[in-house]
Structure 1
């Protein structure tokens, strides 16, 4: 699914236009819906992550312990931020309003679907409604980004793909990272990823 979404976004972006849908969809939306201002999508993208944290704090058992959930979230956030930021820089796609060249993929959509996938991985087996709620919120964020004329449809498709992919990568690499990087360190050592200004790495925290 992440590959399909990312591929669909890449093939429909107006720079490739294998399937010319971006301009047509934007024109259709402008006919029936005027661009509006709202900041709800800025907060809404974090709701699935807040839900996962809230469930953990309330004692609802997830796939991992609260501590491991926190580390997985940190790793997911780092990977998502790194992938999205670098793709924006490499693709250099102009936004619909022409105000910048960082349109592809959508950062808001990427963050929302990344958090929704994390909520799904941790609590989806307890109740399908956790998963449904998370993905519904993420889809709402993607819809708002297009409706506000901040992004092309291809941007949010790719953003969803990158978001899902970053979470899957985090869950795949986390056991290996902990096993290799913590080897030889004290039992109460924690490895945390970071990404800032184009630089990625890890920091080690030792709890005395």
Structure 2
């Protein structure tokens, strides 16, 4: 019940951040921010599936069946998911560096990415710390939700939003990589299917919220900081992989 209450609270916080109605299918957070209900359908469905899967015997059976099918047909373990989780949003910077311009400049897309990462990371870690879902490999009780999958789908939505007007295939490729990340989390016995589904939903929703809030964040926090430069690069401390970011204003 703790996990269900956290998800409900998170949803209420998102909705309470909204302002007055502008149309039946959207509402305004301020003059520049439009909140579209339709964009919530897929991520909230995925999150709901994951939450229900914590208690539903039917969905737990699906988790076990999925695990057995993967283990029966694939023998060797791979850890590509430790890297692929970051590749989706790093692709945005790589494409820009290659001269293929997306929707936003370095400053705006970095603000959006940072916001999305904070929303996603906070949500995932709070749920993990208050939950008690045993991982398939029985190494710990923080299986729900999948942080790797959340990161990958956060990046996939980021890639889609930045390049959907250039070519929808950039977004599709990002989502394929994100789906592959989720698959390898199950393949390596680190997560159940319901963990992956919830992680995907949280990742997508985090990026959508970041885009909705961006005009407000830019106006209130970065209004006098027109020039921003920086670099994002992977780091490894001998035990865990991560990302480092350095920015100058």
User: Shorter-chain-normalised TM-score: which range?
Assistant: 0.7 to 0.9
Does the alignment pair 1:4 with 2:45?
yes
Paired residue for 2:203? 163
User: Which blocks of at least 5 consecutive residues in structure 1 are unaligned?
Assistant: 191-204
Task: Find the aligned partners of 1:49 and 1:187 in 2 and give their Cα distance.
Answer: 23
Specify which of 93, 103, 117 is matched with residue 77 of structure 1: 117
Paired residue for 2:104? 64
Task: Find the aligned partners of 1:180 and 1:18 in 2 and give their Cα distance.
Answer: 47
Task: Find the aligned partners of 1:11 and 1:100 in 2 and give their Cα distance.
Answer: 21
The alpha-carbon distance between structure 1 residues 136 and 90, as it changes in their structure 2 partners (threshold 3 A), is same
Specify which of 65, 80, 85 is matched with residue 45 of structure 1: 85
Paired residue for 1:88? 128
Task: Find the aligned partners of 2:248 and 2:161 in 1 and give their Cα distance.
Answer: 28
TM-score normalized with structure 2 length: 0.70
Task: Find the aligned partners of 1:37 and 1:178 in 2 and give their Cα distance.
Answer: 43
1:182–1:189 Cα contact (<8 Å) kept: no
Does the alignment pair 1:139 with 2:139?
no
Map 1:79-158 → 2, pairs under 5 A: 79-158=119-198
2:169 is paired with a residue of what secondary structure? helix
1:162 Cα deviation after fit: 0.5
The alpha-carbon distance between structure 1 residues 100 and 189, as it changes in their structure 2 partners (threshold 3 A), is same
1:154 Cα deviation after fit: 0.4
Task: Find the aligned partners of 2:141 and 2:213 in 1 and give their Cα distance.
Answer: 32
Please give the root-mean-square deviation of Cα atoms over the aligned residues, in Å: 2.0
What does the per-residue CA deviation read over 1:127-163, in whole Å, with 9 as the maximum and x for residues that have no partner? 1110111000000000111111111000000010000
Specify which of 57, 60, 71 is matched with residue 30 of structure 1: 71
1:29 is paired with a residue of what secondary structure? helix
Task: Find the aligned partners of 1:57 and 1:30 in 2 and give their Cα distance.
Answer: 40
Map 1:172-183 → 2, pairs under 5 A: 172-182=212-222
The alpha-carbon distance between structure 1 residues 89 and 16, as it changes in their structure 2 partners (threshold 3 A), is farther
TM-score normalized with structure 1 length: 0.83
2:186 is paired with a residue of what secondary structure? helix
Q: Where does structure 1 differ by over 4 angstroms across 4 or more consecutive aligned residues?
A: 187-190
User: Which blocks of at least 5 consecutive residues in structure 2 are unaligned?
Assistant: 1-41, 229-246
